[in-house]
């Protein structure tokens, strides 16, 4: 893992991919680079001014640089007092200018980083929205969440704390060294004798912290996954009295997280004192040399300041390299999502004004993972307004049939047509807007009942919602909730019963007035009190529209115009309720096993 992280620094193709998102902010990028150069040029100015001031105050001969004469408007600087006052005033002004430039540099790089994060996060989420459902079957939701939130946030560090600040620091070090060599190259070389120790310490610090950061990141991921999973499943933990056992597991993971952080802290605790020791040794050698050569005091003070300007950025530059490494590792993960080609392709352009609802499955075979086909050579048709029921054991392929109809997955063989046109030729929004789905496990978002019904579609008014609720007999139930349509259902609708969540999903389906309605086990696991309401809602929904029903309720099965019996991905039987019973075959066996008990033993 560490080796991979090190390689990412030099993965220029990946860095170029990141900088694609910087293109809209070219001006800010150029401005930050220019400011970095300006700050680097500013670095040796103050030590030089201090050197000149001290030398002038001690009566030494001072050569005033041409640029200083120019900024001081060619003021007569022969007098020591006038020189000191003029240079001091300029230093005060210069400090304000340097502070302003430094602030602008920090603000622009941080602003650019956050803007890139915003754009990249939007792009990643848009890509996630377009991924085929298969990706969500095989990829943990927590992984995609981490990619969208945490990993992208690390990209910001590349700009605000990584690449551009490193460029600024390196330029500052180079210009400071050049200035020192220009002033007195011998003194420069002598003062930098301990410098190789600093380079070696920096390298080992970078490696140590990088390993520690990887362990910290893995420990954080383990903590997040454990906490999310166990808080979500807390009812199960408490039901089986597992609190003590799960607490001990969490304590162990938390200890690993602490130990990983302590190792990183230990590396910092060693490195920073080493920097101070090396700086102190360099300063000592500098003082010894200046004293032995009887050089100017101003030169000594200036070189001490120069050394600080070299060592100060070196203390953090190794840490910034680790920031880049972590950012590049995060970028690699992000682009794995962005480069995923298993997305929903919207190649269709067919957009009819009206969809009647005639369906046909023609030799359809489908596998989530080839060659394990879950549907094999499926053939059936549904006329507009007909109700078709799909029955079969668990795993027979019922839900796969309706998933294909909505183009949640792509079929390997055969075709599905709607009103005689292949569903692949439809605009995806038109196709899905023409098909309403009511699932067994109703998902509700945190928010009001009204927001969950309209899915925050501003084109749907509250009056339309109320009218639809009254049409299927649910309005009174909603008004009994605290706040009525403004009632907050909380995350996943946990404040409502299964039957109440189901009723809300029926209103949602009716509002969109689909030509085809799919009910996937919509009446299973419903309490007796809600059953009559739900049955009335179903009768209202399926009236005069094509319906595909997966249900265990005998009343719904009886009313179907056609019943299709699936077994192991194949159609075993097809016909009406009475026709299939008369066959005394697969359906009759299912009926006797599952439906007679629900009907109180009264068999048709």
Distance of CA 286 to the CA centre of its chain: 52
Task: Please give the structure tokens belonging to residue 87.
Answer: 């240079």
C-alpha distances (whole Å) from 587 to each of 552, 563, 584 are 13, 9, 7
For the segment 315-319, the average pLDDT, to the nearest whole number, is 75
For the segment 89-96, the average pLDDT, to the nearest whole number, is 91
Q: For residue 578, count other CB atoms closer than 10 A to its CB.
A: 10
pLDDT given at position 320: 77
Rounded to an integer, what distance in angstroms lies between the CA atom of residue 506 and that of residue 519? Answer: 10
Q: Rounded mean pLDDT of the chain?
A: 81
Q: Is the pLDDT assigned to residue 35 strictly greater than 90?
A: yes
Q: Is the pLDDT assigned to residue 2 strictly greater than 50?
A: no
DSSP character for 423? G
C-alpha distances (whole Å) from 409 to each of 81, 97, 368, 413, 546 are 84, 61, 8, 12, 21
- Among 353-367, 531-545, 588-602, the range scoring the smallest mean pLDDT is 588-602
* Burial tier of 224 (Cβ tally within 10 Å: 0-12, 13-18, 19+): middle
Q: Is the pLDDT assigned to residue 39 strictly greater than 50?
A: yes
Alpha-carbon dihedral of residues 264, 265, 267, 271, nearest 10 degrees? 140
Alpha-carbon dihedral of residues 546, 552, 554, 556, nearest 10 degrees? -20
Rounded to an integer, what distance in angstroms lies between the CA atom of residue 572 and that of residue 566? Answer: 6
Q: Which residue has the tokens 């309490």?
A: 527
Higher per-residue pLDDT: 554 or 351: 351
Distance of CA 500 to the CA centre of its chain: 32
> What one-character-per-residue DSSP string does 483-503 give?
TGGG-B--GGGTTS-HHHHHH
Which is it for strands 546-550 and 516-520: parallel, antiparallel or unpaired? parallel
Nearest to 436 by CA among 523, 539, 548: 548
- Among 83-87, 174-178, 181-185, 315-319, the range scoring the smallest mean pLDDT is 315-319
Beta bridge partners of 367: 373
In 552-596, where do the E strands start and end? 562-567, 570-575
Q: Is the pLDDT assigned to residue 307 strictly greater than 80?
A: yes
Instruction: Decide: helix, strand or coil at residue 293.
Output: helix
Nearest to 17 by CA among 250, 322, 339: 339
Nearest to 436 by CA among 511, 488, 491, 502: 511
DSSP character for 239? H
Instruction: Decide: helix, strand or coil at residue 97.
Output: helix
For the segment 238-261, the average pLDDT, to the nearest whole number, is 85
Rounded to an integer, what distance in angstroms lies between the CA atom of residue 300 and that of residue 319? Answer: 30
Task: Please give the structure tokens belonging to residue 231.
Answer: 């808080």
Q: Is the pLDDT assigned to residue 9 strictly greater than 90?
A: no
Instruction: Decide: helix, strand or coil at residue 382.
Output: strand
Q: Do the Cβ atoms of 384 and 332 come closer than 8 Å?
A: no
Q: Do the Cβ atoms of 509 and 540 come closer than 8 Å?
A: no
pLDDT given at position 179: 92
For the segment 197-218, the average pLDDT, to the nearest whole number, is 79
Rounded to an integer, what distance in angstroms lies between the CA atom of residue 109 and that of residue 164? Answer: 8
The model's pLDDT over 440-464, given as tens digits with 9 standing for 90+, comes to 777 787 788 898 888 888 888 899 8
Task: Please give the structure tokens belonging to residue 14.
Answer: 């990946």
> Which of 30-44, 288-302, 467-481 has the highest mean predicted lDDT (pLDDT)?
30-44
Q: What angle do CA 292, 297, 301 make, to 5 degrees?
A: 110
Q: Is the pLDDT assigned to residue 349 strictly greater than 80?
A: yes
Distance of CA 376 to the CA centre of its chain: 37
Beta bridge partners of 566: 571
Rounded to an integer, what distance in angstroms lies between the CA atom of residue 446 and that of residue 246? Answer: 28
Q: Which residues contact 239 (CB under 8 A, 6 or more apart)?
A: none
DSSP character for 356? -
The model's pLDDT over 485-509, given as tens digits with 9 standing for 90+, comes to 998 887 666 677 777 787 888 888 8
Q: For residue 458, count other CB atoms closer than 10 A to its CB.
A: 6
Q: Do the Cβ atoms of 179 and 128 come closer than 8 Å?
A: no
Rounded to an integer, what distance in angstroms lies between the CA atom of residue 442 and that of residue 522? Answer: 9
Task: Please give the structure tokens belonging to residue 514.
Answer: 């689909």
3-class DSSP string for 157-187: HHHHHHHHHHHHHHHHHHHHHHHHHHHHHHH
Rounded to an integer, what distance in angstroms lies between the CA atom of residue 477 and that of residue 503? Answer: 9
pLDDT given at position 168: 86
pLDDT given at position 201: 85
pLDDT given at position 493: 66
C-alpha distances (whole Å) from 471 to each of 193, 477, 510, 511 are 88, 13, 9, 11
The model's pLDDT over 106-142, given as tens digits with 9 standing for 90+, comes to 999 889 888 988 888 888 888 877 776 666 655 655 5
Q: Which residue has the tokens 């369906």?
A: 359
The model's pLDDT over 388-441, given as tens digits with 9 standing for 90+, comes to 988 887 778 888 888 888 888 888 899 999 999 999 899 888 888 888 888 777
For the segment 522-538, the average pLDDT, to the nearest whole number, is 62
Higher per-residue pLDDT: 510 or 133: 510
Which is it for strands 387-391 and 562-567: parallel, antiparallel or unpaired? parallel
pLDDT given at position 364: 93
For the chain, the C-alpha Rg in angstroms (whole number) is 36
Enumerate domains of the chain plus CATH numbers: 2-338 (1.20.1560.10), 359-598 (3.40.50.300)
- Going by pLDDT thresholds of 50, 70 and 90, the confidence category of residue 229 is confident
Q: What angle do CA 158, 162, 164 make, to 5 degrees?
A: 95
Q: What angle do CA 249, 255, 261 make, to 5 degrees?
A: 145
pLDDT given at position 67: 81
Q: Is the pLDDT assigned to residue 604 strictly greater than 70?
A: no
> What one-character-per-residue DSSP string does 503-548 give?
HHHHHHHHHT--SEEEEESTTTT--HHHHHHHHHHHHHHHTTSEEE
Q: Which residues contact 369 (CB under 8 A, 6 or more apart)?
A: none
Q: If residue 243 lies in a helix (H) or strand (E), which one and from where to where?
A: helix 243-293
For the segment 361-373, the average pLDDT, to the nearest whole number, is 87
Rounded to an integer, what distance in angstroms lies between the CA atom of residue 578 and that of residue 560? Answer: 11
Task: Please give the structure tokens belonging to residue 566.
Answer: 């699936």
């Amino acid at each position: 893992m560490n080796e991979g992280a090190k390689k990412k620094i030099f993965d220029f193709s990946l860095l170029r991919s990141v900088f694609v998102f910087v293109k809209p902010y070219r001006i800010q990028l150029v401005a930050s680079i220019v400011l970095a150069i300006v700050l680097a040029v500013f670095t040796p100015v103050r030590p030089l001014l201090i050197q000149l001031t001290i030398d002038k105050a001690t009566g030494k001969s001072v050569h005033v640089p041409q640029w200083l004469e120019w900024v001081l408007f060619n003021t007569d600087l022969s007098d020591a007092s006038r020189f000191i006052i003029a240079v001091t005033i300029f230093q005060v002004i210069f400090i304000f200018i340097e502070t302003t430039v430094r602030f602008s540099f920090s603000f622009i790089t941080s602003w650019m980083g956050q803007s890139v994060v915003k754009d990249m996060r939007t792009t990643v989420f848009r890509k996630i929205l377009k991924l085929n459902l298969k990706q969500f079957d095989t990829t943990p939701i927590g992984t995609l969440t981490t990619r969208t939130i945490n990993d992208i946030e690390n990209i910001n560090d590349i700009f605000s704390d990584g690449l551009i600040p490193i460029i600024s620091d390196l330029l500052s070090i180079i210009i400071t060294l050049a200035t020192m060599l220009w002033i007195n190259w011998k003194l420069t070389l002598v003062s930098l004798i301990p410098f190789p120790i600093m380079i070696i310490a920096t390298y080992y610090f970078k490696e140590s912290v990088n390993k520690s950061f990887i362990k910290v990141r893995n420990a954080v991921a383990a903590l997040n996954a454990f906490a999310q999973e166990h808080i979500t499943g807390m009812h199960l933990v408490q039901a089986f009295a597992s609190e003590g056992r799960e607490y001990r597991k969490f304590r162990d993971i938390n200890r690993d997280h602490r130990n990983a952080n302590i190792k990183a802290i230990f590396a910092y605790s060693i490195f920073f004192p080493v920097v101070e020791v090396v700086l102190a040794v360099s300063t000592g050698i500098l003082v010894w040399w200046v004293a032995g050569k009887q050089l100017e005091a101003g030169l000594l003070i200036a070189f001490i300041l120069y050394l600080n300007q070299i060592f100060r950025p070196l203390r953090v530059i190794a840490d910034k390299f680790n920031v880049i490494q972590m950012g590049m590792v995060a970028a690699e993960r992000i682009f794995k999502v962005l480069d995923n080609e298993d997305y929903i392709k919207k190649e269709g352009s067919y957009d009819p004004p009206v969809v009647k609802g005639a369906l046909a499955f023609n030799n359809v075979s489908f596998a989530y993972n080839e060659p394990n086909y879950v549907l094999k050579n499926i053939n059936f048709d549904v006329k507009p307004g007909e109700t078709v029921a799909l029955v079969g054991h668990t795993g027979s392929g019922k839900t796969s049939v309706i998933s294909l109809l909505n183009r949640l997955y792509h079929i390997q063989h055969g075709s599905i047509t709607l009103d005689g046109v292949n569903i692949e030729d439809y605009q995806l929004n038109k196709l899905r807007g023409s098909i309403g789905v009511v699932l067994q496990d109703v998902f509700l978002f945190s928010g009001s009942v009204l927001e969950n019904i309209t899915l925050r579609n501003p084109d749907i008014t509250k009056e339309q919602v109320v009218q639809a609720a009254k049409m299927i007999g649910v309005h009174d139930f909603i008004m009994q909730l605290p706040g009525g349509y403004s009632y907050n259902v909380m995350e996943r609708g946990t404040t409502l019963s299964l039957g109440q969540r189901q009723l809300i999903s029926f209103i949602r389906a009716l509002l969109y007035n689909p030509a085809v309605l799919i009910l996937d086990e919509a009446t299973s696991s419903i309490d007796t009190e809600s059953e009559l309401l739900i049955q009335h809602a179903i009768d209202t929904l399926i009236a005069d529209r094509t319906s595909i029903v997966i249900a265990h309720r005998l009343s719904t099965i009886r009313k179907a115009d056609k019943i299709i019996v699936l077994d192991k991905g194949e159609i075993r039987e097809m016909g009406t309720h009475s026709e299939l019973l008369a066959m005394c075959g697969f359906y009759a066996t299912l009926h006797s096993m599952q439906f007679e008990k629900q009907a109180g033993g009264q068999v048709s």
